[in-house]
Structure 1
């Protein structure tokens, strides 16, 4: 089984980091992975997206054109990718920032105020992890233990203090039902 995911938003929202966490989760679970970042030269404030493929078999191409899942953290990204999501796909969006209305009836859309939830919990800048946590709760793709191991691999030792905050944001997202 192969799952293709696009994470998209503004540079600085942690899009590439969230994709990297997913990729490391797959690595921890001995799955095949590809992680393909895409961002403009302006990085922070510009657009950024990341394609992640997770599979039980070798992956032919890292390019995701029709994702099974979309995490959209801003309106331009939502508008750009919403029509590409496969029927029966999953879309998660941060409605603290994205105020679009989904016209599609063939997908599951989960809208939550990820930025507001993170800020209110004292986790400024962790909306990406809130959305990732909600996606993981919905898909049951990886266990919390696997996510913890991935965080420990992705976050360098000098920034290890960020692991707990990121895990708290993942758990906050998982609790949003």
Structure 2
């Protein structure tokens, strides 16, 4: 099993953190892992993306042009990465701020209103965990226990009191993912 993922959005949305948590989760499950961030000099408010590869086999290169999965969190990233999903792959997105919704017919498309749900939970910082939960509901490439352990590794110890809230956000995401376009896989 090899899963090649691009997560893309604005700096400050937790894009890199989401990728890091997936990477730590894979390491805890003895998978081969690659985590390659990319962001502009402006960081918050600028665009950011991260490529994560999880595999049972050795990873030959962290550089990818096509992905099994894209998690898209803003319009600029949709414009840049929608075409980069392999045919038969999956695209997950938050519709907030997206005005050109995905149109591909050869991939599966899922929507999760992470911005709205984080607002309802009164904490915009858990947005990325809501999105991650939706993704893991459809594609459980790592176990939830590994994700919680990954959170412990990626959060500084002074923020460990936030882990239960982040875990709750993951479940909220799992319960609110909506299929938009599914392929007839025969």
Query: TM-score interval w.r.t. the shorter chain?
Result: over 0.9
| Residue number in structure 2 paired with 1:118 | 118
Root mean square deviation of aligned Cα: 1.1
In the other structure, the counterpart of 1:157 is 157
1:147 is aligned to 147
Alignment partner, residue 131 of structure 1: 131
Question: Using the alignment, how far apart are the partners of 2:152 and 2:171 within structure 1?
Answer: 16
> For structure 1, which runs of at least 5 residues remain unmatched after alignment?
none
- Give 1:166's aligned residue: 166
The answer to whether residue 61 in structure 2 is matched with residue 82 in structure 1 is: no
Within a 5 Å distance, the mapping from 1:21-60 to structure 2 comes to 21-60=21-60
Cα distance in 2 between the residues matched to 1:123 and 1:108: 29
Task: Decide whether aligned partners of structure 1 residues 97 and 161 sit closer, same or farther in structure 2, where only a CA change above 3 A counts.
Answer: farther
CA offsets 1:43-66 (integer angstroms, 9 cap, x no match): 111110000000001101111211
Distance 1:64 1:155 in 2: 28
Aligned twin of 1:73: 73
Give the gaps of 5 or more residues in structure 2. 178-186
Runs (4+) of structure 1 exceeding 2 A deviation are none
Q: How far apart, CA to CA, are the structure 2 residues paired with 1:175 and 1:142? A: 17
**Secondary structure of 2:125's match?**
coil
In the aligned structure 1, how far is the partner of 2:98 from the partner of 2:155? 28
In structure 1, the partner of 2:18 is 18
Aligned to 2:91: 91
TM-score in terms of structure 1 length: 0.96
Cα offsets for 1:100-134 (capped at 9, x unmatched): 22221111111121100111012322221111111
Q: CA deviation at 1:170?
A: 1.0
Secondary structure (helix, strand or coil) at the match of 2:42 reads: coil
SS of the aligned residue for 1:88 comes to strand
Contact 1:134–1:170 (CA under 8 A) maintained in structure 2: yes
Q: Structure 1: how far apart are the matches of 2:65 and 2:172?
A: 30
Corresponding residue SS for 1:61? coil
